[in-house]
Homo-oligomer: A and B are copies of this chain.
Amino acid sequence: MSSLERRHTHPDPRIERTHEVVKREALEELAARGYGGFTIESVARRSGVAKSTIYRHWTSKLALVADALETLNVQPPGDAAHVPDAPLHRVERLLRHLSGAFADTAITGCTPALIEAAEHDPDVRAFHHTYAATRRQSLVEAIADGVADGTFPATVDRDTAAIALAGAIVYCRVMTSTPFRPDDVPKLIETVLGVTAG
């Protein structure tokens, strides 16, 4: 293995740590100032990492936000191919992850900022909607498998159920002062899908 290959396989841990700091500070800056007020300059100030270093790795603020969300908010696998587990457990795991993500200080504040920015910036809108759709897909598949094997009632429409389940959690974050508690996921599943989880 050449040194170049080794570097790709085992990235320099100091660089990794710096990237991690920049990504977390970027999400917190986004939450604090909104997408319009957030700049690579302000992330540089906040993180103590040189602007040039940040630009070397991320070409734009949207690229930085997208990478931060992708790598700091890792969704557990929900597809049957990777998780040979019951559909009910897969649904529960994905919903616990979603509600847990809103308890992470760096991640929770991004959603309101992205919702607002998506109204005015077509690139943010495309990113925000694609990101949500991609993550929702695991949930849709787990629900579809559960309907197919009889775990969930035949009256359940998979796409509608996915937006109701994810929607309940997002709703609590953006429309109420009480975040959805991961421990309430079984009650949500029982209400929406009519089966006992947990």
Whether the pair A34, B160 counts as a contact (CB closer than 8 A) is no
Whether the pair A176, B133 counts as a contact (CB closer than 8 A) is yes
Interface 1/0s, chain A 155-198, versus B by CB < 8 A? 11100110111111111101111001000100110111010000
Copy tally for this chain in the complex stands at 2
Q: Which of B119, B132, B165 contacts A164 (CB 8 A)?
A: B165
Whether the pair A191, B109 counts as a contact (CB closer than 8 A) is no
Task: Provide the residues of chain B in CB contact with A191, threshold 8 Å.
Answer: 155-157, 160-161, 164, 192
Q: Which of B115, B176, B177, B187 contacts A175 (CB 8 A)?
A: B115
User: How long is the Cα–Cα vector from A153 to B194 in the complex, in angstroms?
Assistant: 8
Is A69 an interface residue, CB under 8 A from the partner?
A: no
Contacts A163-B171, A164-B164, A167-B171 hold; do A119 and B109 have CB atoms under 8 A apart?
Answer: yes
In this complex, the interface size class of chain A, counting residues with CB under 8 Å from chain B, is: 35 or more
Contacts A34-B116, A129-B177, A175-B128 hold; do A192 and B164 have CB atoms under 8 A apart?
Answer: yes
A residues apposed to B, CB below 8 Å: 31, 34, 109, 112-113, 115-116, 118-119, 125, 128-129, 132-133, 153, 155-157, 160-161, 163-172, 174-177, 180, 184, 187-188, 190-192, 194
Min C-beta distance of A121 to chain B, whole Å: 12
Residue of B nearest to A109 (CB): B119
Given contacts A115-B115, A128-B175, A129-B176, 7 further A-B contacts (CB under 8 A): A115-B174, A118-B174, A132-B175, A160-B192, A163-B167, A164-B192, A170-B174
Whether the pair B119, A31 counts as a contact (CB closer than 8 A) is yes
Task: Provide the residues of chain B in CB contact with A132, threshold 8 Å.
Answer: 175-176
Q: List 29 A-B contacts (CB under 8 A).
A: A31-B119, A34-B34, A112-B118, A112-B119, A115-B115, A115-B116, A116-B116, A118-B174, A125-B177, A129-B176, A129-B177, A132-B176, A153-B194, A155-B194, A156-B191, A160-B168, A160-B187, A160-B191, A161-B192, A163-B168, A164-B167, A164-B168, A166-B171, A167-B167, A167-B168, A167-B169, A170-B174, A171-B171, A194-B194
